[in-house]
């Protein structure tokens, strides 16, 4: 099956298996309510939500494109790469990188909570209450939710702007592969690598053009041009870069449920781009069609 010419496709969403607030079924139901025909299920550094996707697709009639948002690091900035339709096998280089990063995230989260607990009423047990289950990738958003639950801050935004910021004395780093290593691992897994929100300055700094050049040389297949954190000038610049390098251009909401103001379907990917991704993927992973 292929996407229809008028399909509305949002290739960037999150669930409670990472830092979203909706389960997989609720996400797909909300996608249907938003008038979407397909979504990318791209939780941070995990494929745990993939197992629940077929039933959600059957119940709600919205296609799911299996994916991952892979966390990487460049200097002191976090750079994210969408891996769409990758091989989920545990013996791939991509799986090894993700497992190493997830283990490091959990160790880092415990270290940050230990530092915070010296000054605020936050414990690891309170953080654990914000996590959906063992398969969830634990990260700073869950610590932020614990700080909200403890009455320390009003919302995630306030937590990230203060005690969870990289400049904070409570901050602890964690392992993440370089963007080029992640792109190569996604490519080698048969997946399609897309630079996620590369012009966003809210995560440290926008991705330098020379890094995008290096990622393209490593096998980058696309650039997420349409994202709420990109202004018109950034969108034009990224679209021009994609044209010059023969890359696909995508759009996505980066939906997190209550965790962010992003709305499902606020940015879309064309059906022709999804069809090109299906052709590019050699992993055997398929879009889950209704």
Q: For strand 192-195 and strand 248-251, is the pairing parallel, antiparallel, or unpaired?
A: unpaired
Domain of residue 124: give its range. 103-161
Question: What CA–CA distance (Å, rounded) separates 132 from 16?
Answer: 6
Query: pLDDT at position 204, please?
Result: 54
Reported residue count of the chain is: 290
Residue ranges of the chain whose pLDDT lies below 70? 201-205
pLDDT tens per residue, range 190-223: 999 999 999 986 555 689 999 999 999 999 999 9
Closest of 12, 19, 2 to residue 160, by C-alpha: 19
pLDDT of amino acid 258: 87
**Residue 120 falls inside a structural domain:** yes
* 219 belongs to a structural domain: no
pLDDT at 133: 75
Q: What is the pLDDT of residue 136?
A: 80
85 found inside a domain: no
Q: How many domains does the chain have?
A: 1
By DSSP bridging, strand 248-251 and strand 222-226 are parallel
- Give the whole-angstrom CA distance, residue 41 versus residue 15: 8
pTM of the model: 0.90
Q: Is residue 178 part of a domain?
A: no
What is the pLDDT, as a whole number, of residue 205? Answer: 64
In a domain, 109, yes or no: yes
Please give the distance of CA 7 from its chain centroid, rounded to a whole number.
Answer: 22
- Is 46 inside a domain boundary? no
CATH number at residue 111: 1.10.150.650
Confirm whether 124 is domain-assigned. Answer: yes
For 9, the 3-state DSSP assignment is strand
pLDDT at 202: 59
What Rg do the C-alpha atoms of the chain give, in angstroms? 18
* Category of 216 on φ-ψ map: left (φ > 0), alpha (ψ -120 to 50) or beta: alpha
């Amino acid at each position: 099956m292929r996407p229809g010419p008028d399909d509305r496709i949002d290739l960037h969403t999150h669930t409670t298996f990472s830092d979203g607030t909706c389960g997989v079924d609720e996400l797909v139901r909300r996608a249907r309510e938003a008038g979407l025909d397909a979504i990318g299920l791209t939780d941070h550094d995990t494929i745990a939500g993939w197992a629940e996707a077929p039933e959600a697709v059957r119940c709600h009639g919205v296609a799911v494109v299996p994916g991952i948002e892979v966390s990487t690091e460049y200097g002191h900035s976090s750079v994210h790469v969408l891996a769409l339709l990758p091989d989920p096998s545990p013996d791939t280089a991509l799986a090894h990188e993700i497992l190493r990063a997830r283990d490091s995230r959990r160790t880092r989260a415990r270290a940050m909570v230990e530092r915070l607990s010296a000054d605020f009423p936050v414990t690891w047990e309170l953080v654990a209450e914000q996590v959906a289950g063992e398969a969830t990738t634990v990260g700073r958003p869950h610590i932020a939710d614990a700080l909200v639950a403890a009455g320390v801050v009003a919302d995630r935004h306030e937590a990230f702007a203060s005690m969870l910021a990289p400049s904070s004395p409570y901050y602890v780093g964690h392992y993440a592969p370089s963007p080029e290593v992640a792109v190569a691992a996604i490519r080698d897994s048969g997946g399609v690598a897309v630079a996620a929100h590369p012009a966003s300055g809210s995560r440290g700094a926008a991705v330098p053009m020379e890094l995008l050049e290096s990622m393209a040389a490593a096998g980058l297949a696309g650039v997420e041009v349409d994202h709420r954190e990109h202004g018109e000038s950034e969108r034009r610049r990224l679209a021009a870069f994609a044209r010059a390098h023969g890359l696909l251009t995508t759009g996505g909401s980066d939906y997190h449920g209550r965790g962010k103001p992003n709305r499902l379907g606020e940015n879309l990917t064309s059906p022709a781009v999804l069809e090109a991704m299906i052709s590019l993927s050699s992993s055997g992973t398929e879009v889950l069609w209704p």
